[in-house]
Amino acid sequence: MSFWFILSVIGIVVVVPIHFVSVNHIDLEEKFGKERGARIGAILGMISGWGIFLFLFGLWFSPQPQFIIPIMSEILLIIPIFGLMTLQIPVFHLILFVIITIPGAWLGIRGVTDIGLEASETHKSTQIINTGIYSHIRHPQYLGAMLSHIGITFLVSGFYSLIVTPLVVVINWLLCWKEEKELVREFGETYSQYRKQVPMFLPRLRRHE
């Protein structure tokens, strides 16, 4: 594996405890005071959020072997890049990229829109949002990130990126688990009830009466 790919994997793993600390709002404010604790949490939250985003780029675009699904594998879309090289994308991979990534991007954007940019960046909510997309799933941004990872992996045909997909899923689940643990501490029964009513990632199929 390339140095940059290994660095990206290590980076994503290292960012997890930073995120854990950033969402521990009660302990931070008790230790450093309300304003300073909130500021530290916000800074660590932005570091962890942007860090994961940048290291995902490393997973996707680091030098690595390519894989090809043997469906329409002979049909390639050839894209020149700055006149220096060409990117060859199997058409079936491109189809999978569109099918998977568009919903992922929509979930991410909708999640930010419904909860607000500040809360999204700092991972600190002032209220429980249970309307819009958050009335169907509790973590649209994390689900969107996982779908985007899978879709872009198909686009770049990155074999190592495909292999570490289970790790990406587990890390996103851990981030959600930690956030929810702290939200229960902060909002008590209100969030506990919300968690019982709304699934984490997969919306329930409700029968229309």
Rounded to two decimals, what is the model's pTM?
0.89
What the chain holds in terms of domains, given with CATH numbers, is: 3-197 (1.20.120)
- Per the listing, tokens 């390339």 go with 2
- pLDDT truncated to tens, each residue of the chain (209 aa)? 789 999 999 999 999 999 999 999 999 999 999 999 999 999 999 999 899 999 999 999 999 999 999 988 788 888 776 666 677 889 999 999 999 999 999 999 999 999 888 778 777 788 888 999 999 999 999 999 999 999 999 999 999 999 999 999 999 999 999 999 999 999 999 999 999 999 999 887 764 44
- Per the listing, tokens 């956030």 go with 179
Which residue blocks in 116-139 are alpha helix, DSSP H? 117-122
Buried b (16+ CB within 10 A) or exposed e, 74-98: eebeeeeeeeeeeeebbebbbebbe
- Secondary structure class of 77 (helix, strand, coil): strand
